[in-house]
């Protein structure tokens, strides 16, 4: 199997020749530590982790970047890399230890939304699409390639802020559904265009949950987001992974209904893996569950090996599983532990 075939087969619930292995995003400093030299290719770092931040007057834009460079993927033995293409976020933001952090949403009225809508970049921009196409030609090689996008939940919640969102929900303010429409319509058109390029799958990043519960109620999700997200999914002609941190168990059936193929990152503090396998195994593929707080930070090589073995045993015996991080690869992950993970995967991925 090619790497693309391997990844796509797993995302569609099948059993590839080997358990696929990929990451969501990898901070540049970690890539450099693994490679032993600096990375000059534009790649994921603390300042572009959420795309573009600012006010509508600041010139919103879409800036594609690699989520890790091919040299890193080759050294780690990954099957895939991703290109990030995210919508702008209309937010207040700060920088903390080299990382851009959202401090508040700006969409607090119909007038602000009007300015934001007028400032949104064109999802049909030929220059943007040519830039992405050139990146694909330059970097894909024999790797599977994912498009790291958003469907519209996170941009809405972040650009409004939870307080504004709650007030508008209570007041039945039309600014709320109109903000959702602004982002989901934009994402649907962008994803339609990206589907015509040589991507193998889409990785849709829309955080909607805390560790123990959802940020919004399942009823609010179904009443405001489900059908717009269905339209976005309908614009994507490739397999699609839904990403959200935390516990979003109450909407798993909804995600299946709108056509998502897989879920990531399956944080251990939020999901019981055996419960997931019993309740949605065979209907959703699983991507992730390799712990980043201990296993990829300060665990022994033996612990790393056992963790990989146990994850494959739990999620992957019948296919439909991809070894991956349980969130992303943040700056605190250890290069030594990542290389230990690579060795463990190489030793165990033929376990079928």
Predicted confidence (pLDDT) per residue in 296-323, tens digit? 999 999 999 999 999 999 999 889 999 9
**Through-space distance between the first and last CA atoms of the chain, rounded to whole angstroms:** 15
Predicted confidence (pLDDT) per residue in 21-42, tens digit? 999 999 999 999 999 999 999 9
Residues of the chain with pLDDT under 70: 351-352
Q: How confident is the model at residue 317, as a pLDDT?
A: 87
Q: How confident is the model at residue 207, as a pLDDT?
A: 97
Hey, where are the domains in the chain?
3-348
Could you give the residue ranges of the DSSP H alpha helices within the chain? 3-11, 28-35, 70-76, 110-119, 126-139, 153-160, 162-171, 175-195, 218-220, 226-234, 252-258, 273-280, 301-311, 335-348
Q: Which CATH architecture has domain 3-348?
A: Alpha-Beta Barrel (3.20)
Q: How confident is the model at residue 351, as a pLDDT?
A: 67
Q: What is the pTM of this model?
A: 0.98
Predicted confidence (pLDDT) per residue in 162-188, tens digit? 999 999 999 999 999 999 999 999 999
């Amino acid at each position: 199997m090619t790497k693309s075939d391997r990844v796509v087969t797993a995302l569609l619930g099948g059993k590839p020749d080997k358990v696929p292995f990929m990451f969501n995003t990898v901070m540049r400093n970690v890539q450099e530590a693994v490679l032993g030299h600096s990375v000059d290719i534009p790649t994921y770092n603390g300042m572009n982790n959420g795309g573009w931040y600012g006010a509508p007057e600041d010139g919103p834009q879409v800036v594609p970047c690699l989520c890790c460079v091919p040299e890193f993927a080759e050294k780690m033995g990954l099957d895939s890399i991703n290109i990030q293409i995210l919508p702008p976020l209309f937010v207040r933001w700060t920088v903390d230890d080299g990382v851009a952090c959202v401090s508040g949403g700006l969409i607090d009225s119909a007038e602000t939304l009007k300015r934001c809508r007028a400032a949104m970049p064109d999802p049909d921009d030929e220059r943007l699409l040519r830039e992405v196409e050139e990146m694909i030609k330059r970097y894909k090689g024999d790797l599977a390639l994912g498009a790291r996008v958003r469907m519209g939940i996170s941009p809405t919640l972040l650009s409004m802020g939870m307080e504004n969102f709650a007030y508008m929900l209570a007041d039945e303010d039309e600014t709320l559904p109109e903000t959702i429409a602004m982002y989901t319509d934009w994402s649907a058109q962008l994803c339609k265009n990206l589907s015509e390029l040589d991507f193998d799958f889409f990785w849709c990043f829309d955080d909607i949950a805390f560790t123990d519960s959802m940020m919004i109620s399942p009823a609010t999700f179904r009443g405001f987001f489900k059908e717009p997200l269905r339209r976005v999914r309908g614009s994507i002609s490739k397999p699609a992974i839904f990403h959200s941190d935390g516990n979003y168990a109450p909407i798993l059936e909804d995600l299946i209904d709108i056509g998502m193929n897989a879920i990531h990152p399956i944080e251990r503090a939020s999901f019981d893996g055996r419960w997931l396998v019993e309740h949605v195994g065979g209907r959703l593929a699983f991507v992730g569950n390799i712990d980043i707080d201990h296993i990829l930070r300060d665990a022994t090589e033996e612990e790393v090996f056992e963790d990989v073995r146990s994850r494959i045993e739990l999620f992957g015996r019948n296919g439909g599983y991809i070894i991956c991080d349980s969130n992303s690869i943040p700056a605190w992950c250890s290069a030594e532990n990542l290389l230990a993970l690579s060795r463990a995967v190489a030793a165990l991925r033929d376990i079928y």
